[in-house]
Structure 1
Amino acid sequence: MRLTILGGGGFRVPLVYGALLRDRAEGRVTRVTLYDVDAGRLTAVARVLAEQSSGVADAPEVRVTTDLDEALRGADFVFSAIRVGGLEGRAADERVALVQGVLGQETVGAGGIAYGLRTVPVALDIARRVAALAPDAWVINFTNPAGLVTEAMSRILGDRVIGICDSPVGLGRRVARALGVDPAKAWFDYVGLNHLGWLRGLWVGGRDELPRLLADPGMLGSIEEGRLFGADWLRSLGAIPNEYLHYYYFNRETVRAYTDAERTRGAYLRDQQAGFYAELSGTDGAAGSALDAWHRTLAEREATYMAANRDAAGVGERDAEDLESGGYEKVALALMRAVARDEHATLILNVRNRTTLSVLDADAVVEVPCLVDANGAHPVTVDPLPSHAVGLVTAVKAVEREVLAAAESGSRASAVKAFALHPLVDSVSVARRLLDGYTEVHPGLAYLRR
């Protein structure tokens, strides 16, 4: 089986390759093609992968290319993890938003809209190349904003594009661990959009164990979401929100923490990863040096994840057990196995809604439990959302639709509307200033002219 990774020079590619190395089952991936527009990053990541596979029998062959068409031909699966504008773009997204007093996070609020506006046109071009050169391939999308980009690509690829995210996986794992439950034996009633979802139940043997967690403040305090949101608020909701909902529920505090921080998250990662790639380009190739540098950088990255939110909540450093990677590479491997080998699996994925959530149309991409087999991912029927969740989900989906309209038509009016409709942007005037600020710093938004 052949896998192509778009964004193959990305920092988290070794996580995916590590999962492939551990897969010894029949029909496993035998060749990985890394595609990136940055040849230097490709070379650096290829070094890390070579050290990962040292001494591993029958390790998947690794090829690198800066030619998209070459990367796509012959692919059975295409893993999309691109970052249009790089981490400098992410840092600019945060900076422009904070000038206007609003959130600039890469997938939430103004920053997510700016990122989507410059990413969707590129994602659509990729989808067209996949349709032309690898029409039988399945696309697994991790490119952020993951739900929005998956929905854009689905307009060309239909159900052959599936979005994944590690946030629901990490949330489910933490809740199961607190309850003393094996995550592999639990059913997670999780529903929403990407980075906008709620865990409403954790079922084991016909019994929902989540109320036991919600009723125990000490147990709630043992998980990161309990510390971020507070036990009282979680009991009020009757659910555990995805950690990204902290940006909504505690927006004022988070914006203040971002404003007061020495560096935003994007600026921190920009500087950290620049150091990592510079280190690999300057080392002498000694055995283990590239892999050691990657492990060290990964540990620092995980330790500082959502640091501004923890500062806003006053909860301090992450617990050691929360430093484990969310596991998106495991989700990707399980998804590929289920489709390629017809190994039925239940995974929380980003797929077209069909009739899953009655408040959204059939083509809206949602994040829900899915049954996966050789024919793809099939969303499971879920209970309706409560009214407070309906309000957020429908508002953010309307924003995503305006981003898609702007990307497809080049309409500035649609782009302004996307900013103005978002729950975390409080004025049409602010929306206009945001678009002006973003078009000034992002040449990739020059297409917004009408």
Structure 2
Amino acid sequence: MRLTILGGGGFRVPLVYGALLADRGPGRVTRVVLHDVDPVRLSAVVRVLAEQADAAGAADAPAVEATTDLDAALAGADFVFSAIRVGGLAGRAADERVALAEGVLGQETVGAGGIAYGLRTVPVAVDVARRVAALAPDAWVINFTNPAGLVTEAMSRVLGDRVIGICDSPVGLGRRVARAAGVDPDRAFYDYAGLNHLGWLRGVRVDGRDVLPGLLADDAALASVEEGRLFGPELLRGLGAVPNEYLHYYYFNREAVAAYRGAERTRGAFLLDQQAGFYETVGAGGSSALAAWRRTLADREATYMAANREAAGAGERAGQDLESGGYEKVALALMRAIARDERATLILNVRGGGALPGLDPDAVVEVPCLVDSGGTHPLAVTPLPYHAMGLVAAVKAVEREVLAAAGSGSREAAVRAFALHPLVDSAAVARRLLDGYVAAHPGLAYLA
């Protein structure tokens, strides 16, 4: 089976390859094609993957090839994993600067920064979808490109249900909560619903018993969970649910903005410098590429959402929180379920078809899905409470304006996207934000 990875020079590609190395089942991926627009990054990742295969002693490791030719990468693919970053980390750092200069959040998937990222990513993602439809019409696309829900919805207008969005946040949240509640994470069903980076864990059921209420009543147990320290037990009990970590930007927006403005560097600027160092080290040769990657990954995980933890007084990340949410494991389980009919229940970003009450059938939502050889089947979930549905509806309206702007070049639709977002508090600020982003990103010239 052939897997094509778009954004194949990306830092997290070795996580996906590591999952493939561990898969010994029939019908597994035997060939991986890496595509990237940057040949230097591609070369560095190829070195890391070669060392991974050697370290695993896998004589029959999936063959790896690299190319900067998109059409050549897509032709004949069974699965396409999309993890591109339009504008690179320099673009992310610019997104943060422009927003913070206006006193609003510039995080890459939330608020003004997420809108800017979406406006420059959607046209590229739609073009990729069209190339997939033309060159690999039977392929399934697994989208990890952020903003994941928005980009998946854009690609679904071309590919229908053959594009599926994944994220590691819901599974990581569910597993942390299950462990804190004293149950096996692999045996639990997670009642989770919302949009990507805007969802709530409402229940953790094992053998028909929901263990979440007991956890919410236990301050000590909650303090052992990263989200318990981030949000605080009072808020979680008031919600009757555990929010996705990204909801900290909504529930504590003033504190988050203040922390980001007071930080020495934004997250994007930190990652830009960190990864530049990694690729330079690997490109120079001599030392182990795999060891350099592992050191960089550990530092990246340890500093994740550091500004938010500081604002909440949550302290350093605990050892159990450093475990990857496992998006690569979700991707592997998804491919196995479709290719081998190994049925699985996974939290995915898919067209809801009415699974989440209050949104139209074409809206991409993040909900549990049954996956088999026929694809994904979203499970109907109970309605969100009004406070949560209000946020979901508002952010979905923003996503639709981004899609309208990207599809038509409408400046006014882009302004509406900023103005309608709950974390942008002024239409005048919305216009200044768009002007700032157009000036910072040549790829947004279509909105000038």
TM-score, reference length from structure 1: 0.99
What is the number of equivalent residue pairs in this alignment?
A: 446
Q: Which residue of 1 aligns with 2:85?
A: 83
Q: Which residue of 2 aligns with 1:185?
A: 187
Separation of aligned partners in 2, 1:283 and 1:160: 40
How much has 1:355 moved relative to structure 2? 1.4
Separation of aligned partners in 2, 1:204 and 1:321: 21
- SS of 2:34's equivalent in the other structure is strand
Q: Which residue of 1 aligns with 2:122?
A: 120
Aligned residue type for 1:344: R
Q: Which residue of 1 aligns with 2:359?
A: 360
Q: Which residue of 2 aligns with 1:20?
A: 20
Aligned residue type for 2:205: W
Runs of 4+ in 1 over 2 A off after TM superposition: none
Separation of aligned partners in 2, 1:275 and 1:206: 49
Stretch moving more, 37-46 or 203-212: 203-212
Separation of aligned partners in 1, 2:182 and 2:247: 25
How much has 1:283 moved relative to structure 2? 2.1
Q: Which residue of 2 aligns with 1:234?
A: 236
**Which deviations, in whole Å up to 9, do the C-alpha atoms of 1:90-148 show, x marking residues without a partner?**
00000000000000000000000000000000000000000000000000000000000
Q: Which residue of 2 aligns with 1:349?
A: 348
Gapped regions of structure 1 (runs ≥ 5): none
Q: Which residue of 2 aligns with 1:254?
A: 256
Q: Which residue of 2 aligns with 1:168?
A: 170
How much has 1:53 moved relative to structure 2? 0.4
**Which deviations, in whole Å up to 9, do the C-alpha atoms of 1:412-441 show, x marking residues without a partner?**
000000000000000000000000000001
Question: In percent, how many aligned pairs have the same letter?
Answer: 79
Q: How does 1:131-142 map to 2 (within 5 A)?
A: 131-142=133-144
Separation of aligned partners in 1, 2:203 and 2:441: 42
Match of 1:264 among 263, 266, 275: 266
| Mapped contact 2:334–2:371 kept (Cα < 8 A) | yes
How much has 1:324 moved relative to structure 2? 1.1
Q: Which residue of 2 aligns with 1:221?
A: 223
Q: Which residue of 2 aligns with 1:277?
A: 279
**Which deviations, in whole Å up to 9, do the C-alpha atoms of 1:130-170 show, x marking residues without a partner?**
00000000000000000000000000000000000000010
Separation of aligned partners in 1, 2:179 and 2:59: 34
Separation of aligned partners in 2, 1:405 and 1:105: 22
Aligned residue type for 1:104: G
CA RMSD of aligned residues (A): 0.6
TM-score, reference length from structure 2: 0.99
- SS of 2:213's equivalent in the other structure is helix
How much has 1:184 moved relative to structure 2? 1.4
- SS of 2:193's equivalent in the other structure is strand
Separation of aligned partners in 1, 2:44 and 2:391: 41
| Mapped contact 2:357–2:382 kept (Cα < 8 A) | no
Aligned residue type for 2:342: E
Match of 1:129 among 119, 131, 142: 131
Q: Which residue of 2 aligns with 1:388?
A: 387
How much has 1:57 moved relative to structure 2? 2.0
Separation of aligned partners in 2, 1:371 and 1:426: 39
Q: How does 1:321-332 map to 2 (within 5 A)?
A: 321-332=320-331
- SS of 2:446's equivalent in the other structure is coil
Aligned residue type for 1:172: G
How much has 1:405 moved relative to structure 2? 0.2
**Which deviations, in whole Å up to 9, do the C-alpha atoms of 1:290-309 show, x marking residues without a partner?**
00000000000000000010
Separation of aligned partners in 2, 1:377 and 1:182: 25
Q: Which residue of 2 aligns with 1:10?
A: 10
Aligned residue type for 2:278: F
- SS of 1:89's equivalent in the other structure is helix
Q: Which residue of 1 aligns with 2:149?
A: 147
How much has 1:358 moved relative to structure 2? 2.1
- SS of 1:136's equivalent in the other structure is coil
Q: Which residue of 1 aligns with 2:61?
A: 59
Aligned residue type for 2:438: T
Match of 2:103 among 92, 101, 104: 101
